[in-house]
Homo-oligomer: A and B are copies of this chain.
């Protein structure tokens, strides 16, 4: 067991959305560094096939290994839905996605056991959330709904907009009818639509943003494997790489995080 392991944590996403997870990690684990990779040349993943997403994920894993990461966080819901077994097979360091932590948080919050999840088309079709929830026992029921227009709406600045309310109303109509009490936001972009989603689904419904839960999961894995950075003089940093040019990423990071970020282009 190593102590005071200063190597960074590797985090990746199809684009900019996973930065919310990276930020959550350095906020809750201020001694840890993060190497972030956003696959902006091939974004989005949410409408692509399992085989293609696994191929992309393994290419990114090789990139993160070159940066000597001590663990891998798959911050993209779609990649988490498809690639976790392949990534775990291809490396010996701890790996976590966002599905498990999100489901655990939802199970802790629900009273009725009726849980909803919304995500990209590929995430929902993968049934990853249903499989994960089934591990917690038979008393939970999952209601799933793809919301493929939410990502382009967010990325084009339609955040608090009547059009977004109208589209959310259509997507969430059936889910409102079945009476859930907890809704997992199964895509890193969706926390930006929290206000709209809460207004439409009902303010009594708990909204689960996995980024907090993932930071807790990361802490647990670092402790378990003795990989924590220990104390250091400075706060942890996020080193950020993307596969497309950096201008678009910086613009979107501004839209999504409301702050600027230093980022470099990298070939994978």
A residues contacting B by CB (< 8 A) are 40-43, 47-52, 148-149, 152-153, 155-156, 158, 162-163, 166-167, 243-245, 247-248
Contact = CB atoms under 8 A, between A and B. Distances in A.
Contact of A248 (B48, B155, B245, B247): B48
A21 B207 CA distance: 45
Number of copies of this chain that the complex holds? 2
Given A148-B156, A152-B152, A52 B48 contact: no
A149 B155 CA distance: 10
A167 to B, nearest CB: 6
A49 B152 CA distance: 17
A207 B48 CA distance: 32
Contact of A163 (B43, B50, B152, B166): B166
A156 B162 CA distance: 19
A153 B149 CA distance: 7
Contact of A244 (B41, B49, B152, B166): B49
Contacts of A248: 47-49
Contacts of A40: 48
